[in-house]
Homo-oligomer: A and B are copies of this chain.
């Protein structure tokens, strides 16, 4: 009988059981009474953090969409490493909604996983101390949480992030140094990572006394031709550089350029993000930022081994993204 059983029997979340244990004022007295009753009935003694004997040798992997190229690679890589290390993996594709993320975390906690790995900045917040991501801190009170490209500050939360801000700023600085002045930032949806890329882009421009020429969000992911069409509809568009938050968006930008009769990189230079298979499929091949998904996975696995070996606390390691120069830039 552990906290997961109590939560299930009481029909409440693990976070709520945790709050009852801590006598939090945010839980209704009626709920407290019911949860405590169930604990008493089943002779439940909270075990503190030690899970030792209860280890299930399973890890929960959560990502918004396992079909997304970046996440698919991370899922495959983590699953392989964890398998080698003797762990089975639960996979939960949460979708992108805030409540969906909470649901996913709670569902996998009920599976009694020994750790949770969250893939994608969607699970984080711009502010690592934000209250908005308390559900992650609450999960981490019971099960260590590891994050790929998201940073939440808290006990037993271990984060591996790419320095999206710095990598984006450096790339756009090069665009500017090559003479580009009218730069468009292209995104699909707003995530922490997207915001950092946009801010890096803006910082580079600000350093040269410039502003973004256009900030375009197409609002859908991995849709190359829809991105092209979205750009084609912006008749007044006059840009000489496009910095895209992922490679599918950049591939759409290349198709836009072709339709508009713009030469790449002569009339328009384009930089994508993630160094995906799409980037070498494009013609010309896409210059793109390697966001070091392989390295982030390795950092998380290393953190996990340290934690399972007894280390406590939490932590953050940052990997340096770097521009892969191919045919859509001339610098």
Decide yes or no whether A278 CB sits under 8 A from chain B: yes
Q: Which residues of B contact A77 (CB under 8 A)?
A: 67
Q: Which residues of B contact A73 (CB under 8 A)?
A: 67
**Which of A59-87 touch B at CB < 8 Å?**
61, 65-69, 72-73, 75-77, 79-80, 83
A107 engages B88 (CB within 8 Å): yes
Q: Which residues of B contact A83 (CB under 8 A)?
A: 92-93
Decide yes or no whether A148 CB sits under 8 A from chain B: no
Contact of A67 among B76, B88, B108, B254 (CB under 8 A): B76
A65 and B88 CA atoms in complex are apart in Å by 15
Binary interface encoding of chain A residues 42-58 relative to chain B, with 1 for a CB under 8 A from any of its CBs, else 0? 00000000000000001
Binary interface encoding of chain A residues 254-282 relative to chain B, with 1 for a CB under 8 A from any of its CBs, else 0? 11001000000000000000000110111
Contact count band on A: 35 or more
Q: Which residues of B contact A184 (CB under 8 A)?
A: none
**Which of A132-173 touch B at CB < 8 Å?**
none
Decide yes or no whether A89 CB sits under 8 A from chain B: yes
Q: Which residues of B contact A258 (CB under 8 A)?
A: 283
A93 and B80 CA atoms in complex are apart in Å by 7
Q: How far is the CB of A235 from chain B (nearest CB, A)?
A: 24
Interface of A is mostly: helix
B90 engages A88 (CB within 8 Å): yes
A75 engages B88 (CB within 8 Å): no
Q: Which residues of B contact A75 (CB under 8 A)?
A: 66-67, 72, 75, 91
Q: Which residues of B contact A88 (CB under 8 A)?
A: 90, 92, 107-108, 111
Q: How far is the CB of A26 from chain B (nearest CB, A)?
A: 23
Q: Which residues of B contact A222 (CB under 8 A)?
A: 277
Decide yes or no whether A225 CB sits under 8 A from chain B: yes
A-B contact pairs, 30 of them (CB 8 A): A65-B76, A66-B66, A66-B75, A66-B76, A67-B75, A69-B69, A69-B72, A69-B277, A72-B72, A79-B91, A79-B93, A83-B92, A88-B90, A88-B107, A88-B108, A89-B91, A89-B92, A90-B91, A222-B277, A224-B277, A224-B280, A224-B281, A248-B281, A251-B281, A254-B283, A258-B283, A278-B278, A281-B281, A282-B283, A283-B283
